[in-house]
């Protein structure tokens, strides 16, 4: 459960409250003066290490309206810091509010400077908070909460006056175009809130005169006034203020406003302190007056919380990343198991197919070698027509020679180192009549040889029908004359490697 401390400061002293679970609980009351500061210091020693918010409802406030050239960045910050030092030279509790740009001329930026004019009323309390290293997140005043209060009232006019009661007195806050322009705290009259009607009318008439003197409103303009009261105080207050000239009072139920921002207890008086405290706890972007030195511990805690939050986010991111990698790993493992099962199934099917095939005549490696050699043979072998065509041309030129037998040899066509070679062994014969003249037969064979030789790479006459040695006489007996003269040739075609 988120716990915070809210300290409400007025002219009577400092009251501490504890906020937890949407409820505000009274903790301690510290009177104005050294004794009250001492009791506050002792209380801080035992207080929880949590955030502190200070709401100061004091009459010592200043408001200055000014215009500055329209600049941005560090130049604007330096200019506003110098202006604040000029307006509130003795107070560190200052801030500025932008009221927009002027519509004419250079269109300068309109600025409202506000701050505590008597810093001594705050110094002891803030010094104790800083000395005890308490985390002060903001120092608010009721006027600085005007923007949030206007969000609850939702006025339909651009300007007006908001009046509220508290033990410190009558608070009047003037707004224009949805922004704070001026505020004042009048002393509290005697008696119950229901009897403050005449004092309220008197103080609002003073404020009306001031606004007219500043020319913020014209003299004949009726000024709307929103009076924040408990319902039981409507009648007596309305009877006291209804006859006011130039003032148009609107009574607003204080309980309705408090319930709209989460205050659960029913208010029994017109004290606006619970509303202001709820607004102070609720706001996080409203302007505040605490100097940077007083908020140093709060800044450190914010930085630590930010680092912790970033660490948690980083841890969550790493955890999610690790979970994603784990899920991806599981998915990959499942895919791997599925693929292995499919591979095993396909292997089993392959083995079954192999078993259903007839037995191979030779081992697979031997068959692969034969197929590769056959492929090389087809790519390197010389086709038979390369030798048969030259032979047929010569046979056409010698029609009397008859081809008896033909054998061919491709050699080692599978070899990759020796050139391809085709060899033809030819058996041929002349007619029987040629046997009567051996010399003419030999000349005919030589002519055939000479005709065929240019068309081939190699040609060898291996065997002749007659002995053709020069020192012997050619003879033909009766048996030779009955046989055809046969001869043998060896023809070769080569294919050189590229």
What domain range includes position 394? 380-495
Q: Cα(first)–Cα(last) distance of the chain, in Å?
A: 93
| pLDDT above 80 for 495 | no
* Residue 128 contacts residue 30 (beta carbons within 8 Å): no
323/325 Cα distance (integer angstroms): 5
Residue 85 domain flag: no
Residue 274 domain flag: yes
Show which of 260, 291, 322 is a domain's final residue.
291
Show which of 264, 291, 318 is a domain's final residue.
291
Mean pLDDT of 353-364: 79
C-alpha angle 379/385/391, rounded to 5°? 145
- pLDDT tens per residue, range 63-91: 999 999 999 999 999 999 999 999 998 89
3-state secondary structure of 225: strand
Looking at the structure, tell me whether residues 152 and 285 fall in a common domain.
Answer: yes
Residue 110 domain flag: no
| pLDDT above 90 for 42 | yes
Q: Provide the CATH number for the domain around residue 457.
A: 3.30.980
Residue 250 domain flag: yes
Helix and strand numbers (H, E) in the chain are 13, 17
Show which of 272, 291, 310 is a domain's final residue.
291
Residue 28 domain flag: no
- pLDDT tens per residue, range 153-211: 999 899 999 999 999 999 999 999 889 999 999 999 999 999 999 999 999 999 999 99
Q: pLDDT band at 273, cuts 50/70/90?
A: very high
CA 382 to chain centre: 71
- pLDDT tens per residue, range 443-452: 999 999 999 9
99/90 Cα distance (integer angstroms): 25
Residue 167 domain flag: yes
* Residue 457 contacts residue 492 (beta carbons within 8 Å): yes
Looking at the structure, tell me whether residues 264 and 156 fall in a common domain.
Answer: yes
Looking at the structure, tell me whether residues 281 and 150 fall in a common domain.
Answer: yes
Residue 471 domain flag: yes
DSSP-assigned beta bridge partners for residue 9:
14, 56
C-alpha angle 164/166/168, rounded to 5°? 120
- pLDDT tens per residue, range 307-332: 999 999 999 999 999 999 999 999 99
- Ranges 327-336, 396-405, 410-419: which has the least confidence: 410-419
Q: Provide the CATH number for the domain around residue 214.
A: 3.30.420.40
Q: pLDDT band at 305, cuts 50/70/90?
A: confident
Q: pLDDT band at 345, cuts 50/70/90?
A: very high
- pLDDT tens per residue, range 21-32: 888 899 999 999
Q: pLDDT band at 498, cuts 50/70/90?
A: very low
CA dihedral 272, 273, 274, 280 (to 10 degrees): 110
Residue 8 domain flag: no
DSSP-assigned beta bridge partners for residue 31:
13
Number of domains in the chain: 2
Looking at the structure, tell me whether residues 169 and 275 fall in a common domain.
Answer: yes
Q: pLDDT band at 376, cuts 50/70/90?
A: low
Residue with token string 């607004």: 279
């Amino acid at each position: 459960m988120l716990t915070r401390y809210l300290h409400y400061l007025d002219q009577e002293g400092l009251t501490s409250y504890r906020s937890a679970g949407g409820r505000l609980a009274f903790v301690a009351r510290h009177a104005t003066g050294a004794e009250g500061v001492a009791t506050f210091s002792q209380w801080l020693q035992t207080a929880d290490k949590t955030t502190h918010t200070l709401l100061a409802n004091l009459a010592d406030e200043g408001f200055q309206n000014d215009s500055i050239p329209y600049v941005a960045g560090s130049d604007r910050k330096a200019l506003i810091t110098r202006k604040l030092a000029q307006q509130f030279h003795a107070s560190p509790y200052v801030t500025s509010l932008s009221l927009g740009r002027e519509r004419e001329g250079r269109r300068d930026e309109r600025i409202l400077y506000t701050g505590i004019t008597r810093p001594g009323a705050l110094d002891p309390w803030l010094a104790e908070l800083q000395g005890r290293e308490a985390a002060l997140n903001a120092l608010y005043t009721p006027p600085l909460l005007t923007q949030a209060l206007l969000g609850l009232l939702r006025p339909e006019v651009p300007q007006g006056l908001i009046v509220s009661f508290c033990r410190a007195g009558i608070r009047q806050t003037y707004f224009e175009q949805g922004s704070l322009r001026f505020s004042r705290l009048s002393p509290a009259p005697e008696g119950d809130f229901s009897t403050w009607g005449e004092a309220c009318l008197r103080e609002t008439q003073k404020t009306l005169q001031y606004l007219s003197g500043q020319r913020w409103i014209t003299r004949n303009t009726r000024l709307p006034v929103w009076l924040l009261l408990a319902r039981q105080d409507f009648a007596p207050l309305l009877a006291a203020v209804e006859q006011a000239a130039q003032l148009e009072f609107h009574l607003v139920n204080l309980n309705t406003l408090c319930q709209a921002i989460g205050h659960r207890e029913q208010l029994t008086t017109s004290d606006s302190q619970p509303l202001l405290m709820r607004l102070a706890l609720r706001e996080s972007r409203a302007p505040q007056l605490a100097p940077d030195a007083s908020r140093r511990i709060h800044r450190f805690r914010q930085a630590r919380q930010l680092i912790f939050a970033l660490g948690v986010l980083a841890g969550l991111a790493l955890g999610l990343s690790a979970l994603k990698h784990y899920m991806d790993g599981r998915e990959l493992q499942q895919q791997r198991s599925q693929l292995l099962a499919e591979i095993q199934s396909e292997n089993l099917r392959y083995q079954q197919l192999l078993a259903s095939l007839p037995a191979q005549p030779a081992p697979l490696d031997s068959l692969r070698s034969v197929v590769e050699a056959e492929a090389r043979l087809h790519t390197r072998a010389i086709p038979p027509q390369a030798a048969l065509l030259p032979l047929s041309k010569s046979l056409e030129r010698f029609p009397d020679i008859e081809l008896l037998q033909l054998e061919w040899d491709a050699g080692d066509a599978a070899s990759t180192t020796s050139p391809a070679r085709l060899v033809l062994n030819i058996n041929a014969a002349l007619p029987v009549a040629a046997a009567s003249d051996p010399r003419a037969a030999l000349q005919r064979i030589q002519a055939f040889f000479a005709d065929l030789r240019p068309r081939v790479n190699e040609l060898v006459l291996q065997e002749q029908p007659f002995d053709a040695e020069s020192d012997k006489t050619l003879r033909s007996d009766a048996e030779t004359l009955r046989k055809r003269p046969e001869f043998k040739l060896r023809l070769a075609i080569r294919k050189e490697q590229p």
